[in-house]
């Protein structure tokens, strides 16, 4: 059934618009991004925001510190779907000084701005992205930060699914592992359907992620866990730790988590996304001096070092291929891409070694060619290192459309029954 009403979307930490681009690729008629915020602190130039604003001509584009946006603004916007890729920070909490006003998170932690949107706007769906180490942080209390997040969603009447997805496993050109978090309001049609399915079946077969990113349905018996979150979020912050696996579900504070193995799809390779060599500017080819530097950086090494207090130790680093293999997907792209850095991609074509170009970086993230044109190369690399793989969001957008169609059918059936 065709959905008649558009979904109002709020995009936080929007960058150059990867979430919006993916949703619009899924269905430009359904997803209506009414407000998007992108602000880079301590920078005069706002390159990502400028790129976003020039790429999209509808909705309100906000270039302000999200912490200064009023609660009333969020209430006014009233989104159906909240999306964003937020920083991995310290999510610990503490009692307020009076003790009577509950708890407070550390100042500057942007997840608390997501919480503020949820408290004021109550979106039906939330789709977030983060680095996969979020599930294990901090190292001194494994899983605490993610548990604080889950408890926050629980206390605001949401259920949550999560999945670590490597884009290359599902046909894309980059081996980029990120954790995606999908939260949905309890009481929705989707939520009611999930109640009828056991938690393991949700994660492995019938949940939000499993339908679109299939996994093998036989779990590792020693790599799945159940638990229940403590009721007091301060208790979680101070004492709780847990081994969150690569996929899971939380509803009403109950947790099921498991390691899942993806049903692999044929990957796109580096060779597939490279430009024709006749189009490559000479500046991207390595000089003999740069080749020597990369040979050293990418080679194995053992270096004796001394700490400030005189302690000597050996720093060891394993070797890697002198150039990136063209018949494999690219490695995870970082914000340092294009610099003299071990993590930078180096390809060899027709006997010459070179950096990958900004356009090829855009292709690694499945953006259109020249999406970031107009910035310096340094900023184009930086923005793509921060971006997500757009094609993954397109797939998730289509899954949200399926949920909306089911919800609409349920409402029609209810109206028919009442009449």
Token reading at 333: 């792209």
Q: Tell which residue, 58, 62, 63, has the closest CA to residue 45.
A: 63
Residues 6+ apart with CB under 8 A from 72: 120
Q: How far apart are CA 150 and CA 144, in angstroms?
A: 10
Q: List the one residue out of 344, 317, 351 whose CA is nearest residue 330.
A: 344
Q: Which residues are paired to 184 by β-bridges?
A: 125, 159
| Long-range CB contacts for residues 367-374, cutoff 8 Å, separation at least 24 | 367/16, 367/18, 367/21, 371/16, 371/51, 371/55, 372/16, 372/51, 374/50, 374/51, 374/54
Active site residues: 88
C-beta contacts of 52-55 below 8 A and 24+ residues apart: 52/14, 52/15, 52/16, 52/17, 52/20, 54/374, 55/16, 55/17, 55/21, 55/371
CA dihedral 368, 373, 377, 382 (to 10 degrees): -60
């Amino acid at each position: 059934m065709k959905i008649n009403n558009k979904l109002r979307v709020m995009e936080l930490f929007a960058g150059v618009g990867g979430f919006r681009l993916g949703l619009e690729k899924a269905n430009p008629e359904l997803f209506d991004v009414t407000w998007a915020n992108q602000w880079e602190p301590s920078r005069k130039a706002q390159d990502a925001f400028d790129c976003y604003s020039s790429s999209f001509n509808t909705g309100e584009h906000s270039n302000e510190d999200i912490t200064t946006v009023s609660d009333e603004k969020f209430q006014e916007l009233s989104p159906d779907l909240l999306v964003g890729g937020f920083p991995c920070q310290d999510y610990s909490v503490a009692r307020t000084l009076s003790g009577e006003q509950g708890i407070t998170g550390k100042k500057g932690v942007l997840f608390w701005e997501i919480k503020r949107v949820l408290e004021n706007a109550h979106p039906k769906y939330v789709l977030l992205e983060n680095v996969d180490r979020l599930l294990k942080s901090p190292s001194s209390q494994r899983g605490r930060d993610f548990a604080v997040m889950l408890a926050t969603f629980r206390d605001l009447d949401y259920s949550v699914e999560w999945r670590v997805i490597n884009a290359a496993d599902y046909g894309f050109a980059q081996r980029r592992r990120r954790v995606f978090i999908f939260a949905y309001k309890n009481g929705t049609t989707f939520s009611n359907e999930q109640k009828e399915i056991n938690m393991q079946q949700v994660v492995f077969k019938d949940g939000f992620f499993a339908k679109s990113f299939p996994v093998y349905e036989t779990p590792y018996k020693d790599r799945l866990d159940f638990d229940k979150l403590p009721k007091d979020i301060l208790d979680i912050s101070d004492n709780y730790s847990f081994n969150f696996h690569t996929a899971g579900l939380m509803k009403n504070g109950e947790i099921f988590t498991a390691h899942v193995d993806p049903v692999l799809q044929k990957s796109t390779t580096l060779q597939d996304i490279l430009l024709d060599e006749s189009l490559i500017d000479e500046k991207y080819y390595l000089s003999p001096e740069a080749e020597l530097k990369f040979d050293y950086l990418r080679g194995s090494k053992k270096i004796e070092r001394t700490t400030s207090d005189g302690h000597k130790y050996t720093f060891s680093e394993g070797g890697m291929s002198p150039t990136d293999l063209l018949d494999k997907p690219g490695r995870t792209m970082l914000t340092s891409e294009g610099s003299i850095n071990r993590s930078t991609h180096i390809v060899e074509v027709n006997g010459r070694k070179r950096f990958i170009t900004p356009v090829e970086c855009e292709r690694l993230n499945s953006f259109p060619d020249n999406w970031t044109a107009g910035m310096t190369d340094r900023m184009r690399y930086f923005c793509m290192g921060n971006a997500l793989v757009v094609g993954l969001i397109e797939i998730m957008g289509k899954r949200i459309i399926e949920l909306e169609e089911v919800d609409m059918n349920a409402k029609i059936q209810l109206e028919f029954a009442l009449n």
